Structure 1
Amino acid sequence: MDRFVVISGCSGGGKSTLLNELARRGHAVVEEPGRRVVVDQRAAHGTALPWTDMEAFARRALEMALADHAARLDAIGWVFFDRGIIDAASALAQARCETLTANQFSPRPYNKTVFMTPPWPEIYQTDSERRHDFAAAVTEYQRLCHVYPQLGYDIRILPKASVSDRADFVIEALKRSGPAPVRG
């Protein structure tokens, strides 16, 4: 799954903005499952929300991430995921006080290189889908920076730079790691 690339990291660190830029450049992108779960739950007056029932929220995000992954198996070229299976599974494991293991994700569902947005307080904002504060976002980031390497992934921290520079950084890093997949 080298063509499936995860953009993860700190909430409010610019992941969605970067994914929008990659989409503008013609790459396939998948929106963050967690945000979609929140939108769905709020519309349905549901309780599977991170501030109400974290385990139910994470379970739904994991189901959505698995479905997103399966739906893109026939895609051609790089597919960029705003978070994904590992992020959701990590949140679910944390809610259940469990530990993730590499054999739970064999074969590896994503490219070995995971791009992480670092904590960036100057751009961090809460909104209707992101109610947690910056300290909670940093704690989440630290957890993910620990989890991904434990599962055999290499982390590349994205620079605090313009969205265009960040997109260039991602594409250049992927090109250096191997040939670009054929795009349809």
Structure 2
Amino acid sequence: MKTRRIVITGGPGSGKTSLIKYLEDKGYKVKEEISREVTIQAQKEGIDQLFLEKPILFSQKLLEGRLKQYLEGNDCADKILFYDRGMPDVTAYMDFVNTEYPESFSKACIEHRYDEVFLLPPWKQIYKQDNERYESFDQAEEIFQFLKKGYTSFGYKIHEVPVGSIEDRAHYILRSLNE
């Protein structure tokens, strides 16, 4: 049985991480988001916002971490493996900040494919900024568009997850996956 690799993505404050946690609590295998971990580590090293100060370095660290997660998925025995963001998120964010990146970024996205992509739209009622989330809500809306364009450019058909309760969103995803 081949494990289906499913990306759940969205701009900051879209409810993505809460949804991933809910699916994990329901017994699904997940690979968690790593950008906060990378940001916190950089802050410990004296760099307040690594993505803003050194976007290529930050993005390289993310890509390496997400590639590692992808490769770990090769050993997954579960029917479905959810990823809190995928490799194309890296290039979409770089496009958002209008920063050129090495061809190896796109190559990784092309060579390591996910089976389905679910995109969560910005949701003003739940949006909050914090130490690691510096984007405004308007920027979150822009990022959503860049994510949509980025995944589409790599040939993905995107499922847009409607705003709603965590249970409703999870049901939408699982129903789409025939679960």
Match of 2:160 among 143, 157, 161: 157
Tell me the percent identity. Answer: 29
Aligned to 2:134: 131
Distance 2:175 2:145 in 1: 25
Distance 1:8 1:19 in 2: 10
Aligned to 2:33: 32
Conserved in 2, the CA contact under 8 Å of 1:28 and 1:80? yes
Change (3 A) 1:58 1:104: closer
Alignment-mate amino acid for residue 145 of structure 1: K
| TM value normalised by structure 2 | 0.86
Conserved in 1, the CA contact under 8 Å of 2:3 and 2:81? no
Aligned to 1:96: 100
Q: How many residues align?
A: 175
Conserved in 2, the CA contact under 8 Å of 1:102 and 1:150? no
Distance 2:168 2:104 in 1: 33
Alignment-mate amino acid for residue 172 of structure 2: F
Distance 1:91 1:10 in 2: 10
Change (3 A) 1:97 1:139: farther
Deviation track 1:122-144 (CA, whole Å, cap 9, x = no partner) reads 11111111111111111111111
Aligned to 2:58: 57
In angstroms, what is the RMSD of aligned CA positions?
Answer: 2.4
Specify every segment of 5 or more residues in structure 1 that has no aligned partner in the other structure, as ranges: none
SS at match of 2:177: helix
Match of 1:174 among 170, 174, 177: 177
Distance 2:11 2:140 in 1: 6
Higher mean C-alpha displacement, 154-163 vs 92-101: 92-101
Alignment-mate amino acid for residue 14 of structure 1: G
Moved over 6 A (4+): 97-103
Deviation track 1:82-114 (CA, whole Å, cap 9, x = no partner) reads 112111133345421678997654445201x31
Conserved in 2, the CA contact under 8 Å of 1:10 and 1:118? yes
Higher mean C-alpha displacement, 87-96 vs 99-108: 99-108
Conserved in 1, the CA contact under 8 Å of 2:63 and 2:105? no
Looking at secondary structure, tell me which structure has more helix per residue. Answer: 2
SS at match of 2:71: helix
Specify every segment of 5 or more residues in structure 2 that has no aligned partner in the other structure, as ranges: none
Alignment-mate amino acid for residue 12 of structure 1: G
SS at match of 2:30: strand
